[in-house]
Amino acid sequence: MGFGSYDESEQKDQSANVDEDAGVNVHENDHEGEVALEGGDDTDALVDALSDMKDSDDD
């Protein structure tokens, strides 16, 4: 038996005992809402702040 070899007889007929009812419900916490950012629509201030952060990283 060389590197990485295995007994193929151990590979067939594998089964797992899975309880499908115990799974995670990804829609359990769904909601339909709105997102609001503090500062309203002050996009220019946010862009300026980002520019300042990028400039300080270059130093």
SS3 letters for 1-59? CCCCCCCHHHCCCCCCCCCHHHCCCCCCCCCCCCCCCCCCCCHHHHHHHHHHHHHHHHC
pLDDT tier for residue 51 given thresholds of 50, 70 and 90:
very high
In this structure, what token pair is assigned to residue 47? 């862009």
Position 31 scores a pLDDT of 82
The pLDDT tens digits for 3-46 are: 666 666 666 666 777 777 777 888 888 888 887 767 666 788 88
CA distance 58 to 52: 10
22, 28, 29, 31 alpha-carbon torsion, rounded to 10°: 170
Position 39 scores a pLDDT of 66
